[in-house]
Amino acid sequence: MEYWLKNGNKSIQLPVRPESFSVTFENTHQTVNVQTKGDVTILGKKGLKTYAFESFFPENDYPFADYAKDRNPWEYVKEILKWQETPIQFIVTKTKLNKKVIIKSFQFGEEDGTGDIKYSLTMDDYRPPKYTKPAKAVLEPAESDKKKPEKENNRPDNKPKKKTHTVSGKETLRSIAKKYYGSGSYSSKIYNANKAVIEKEAKKHGHTSSSHNGVKGWWLYNGTKLVIP
């Protein structure tokens, strides 16, 4: 089992393996007090794993070291200090640990006269933020104080549609006028707009005209389609 820290094309194999290492895994669950229920739990997302261990960088050759001394212990310290602001790779061979991490804390110092530098290292999983690029805003042209004159569109398909009514039941011109205009006095207006149709239907049913006692459009029949002017 070997311990490695890698940053790009640079790497450090820890010369003296830690006696052990710990992995802490926390979730972002929250406990909230609700007046009627007491404490309740709000489930959160998974947190970041934390890796921690202790060891020392040797000043002298030790038979238990993973390799013969090849540098001053302070060179390890200086290199690791340079890596504190960048993600690095933490690898423990013969295990599944091969993680991109950031250095959370690095504590070191000499404790005896051997020249060895004892240290403790704590690292967190590196999880880069996901960023969605916002859509570009489309600037609308400023409105002018002067309104442009609306173009007249004389196309046939833009002409207002005529309102029509099909006679049914016991409807009369007065009842139809009251329905559309609010007053039966407009019955003559509807008659004048539909004179040909009304007179044709009256003659079709055996009358000389649609008039009765001087009232035009008296004879009105179901199914007659009228234009409402």
Averaged pLDDT in 10-residue chunks for the chain of 229 residues: 92 92 80 75 79 92 89 92 93 90 93 89 89 71 62 62 88 92 90 93 91 89 91
Supply the pLDDT for residue 134.
76
Nearest to 12 by CA among 81, 61, 63, 104: 81
Q: How far is CA 90 from CA 14, 43, 210, 214, in A?
A: 11, 30, 102, 107
Q: What is the pLDDT of residue 148?
A: 62
Contact between 3 and 57 (Cβ < 8 Å): no
Per-residue model confidence (pLDDT) at position 152? 60
Burial of 41 (0-12, 13-18, 19+ CB in 10 A): exposed
Give the number of other CB atoms < 10 A from CB of residue 159: 9
pLDDT at 65: 92
Parse the chain into domains and list their residue ranges.
Answer: 3-125, 161-228
CB neighbour burial string for 56-92, b if at least 16 within 10 angstroms, e if fewer: bbbbeeeeeeeeeeeeebeebbeebeebeeebbebbb
3-state secondary structure of 101: strand
- The CATH number assigned to the domain with range 3-125 reads 2.40.30.200
- The reported pLDDT for the residue numbered 96 is 86
From the list 199, 174, 171, the residue with the least C-alpha distance to 186 is: 174
Contact indicator for 163, 225 with CB cutoff of 8 Å? no
Residue 40 CA to residue 33 CA, distance in Å, equals 6
- Per-residue pLDDT, 20: 86
CA 9 from centroid of its chain's CA atoms: 39
Characterize the bridge pairing of strands 98-109 and 10-13. Answer: unpaired
Residue 127: the pLDDT is 86
Query: Which pLDDT belongs to residue 89?
Result: 94
Q: Where are the alpha helices (DSSP H) in 33-172?
A: 73-82
Amino acid 166: pLDDT: 92
User: Could you give the CA distance from residue 221 to residue 203 in angstroms, rounded to a whole number?
Assistant: 11
Structure tokens of 44? 């959160």
Model pLDDT, residue 155: 60
Q: DSSP H helical segments within 126-210, as ranges?
A: 173-181, 187-193, 195-204
Distance, CA of 102 to CA of 50 (rounded, Å)? 10
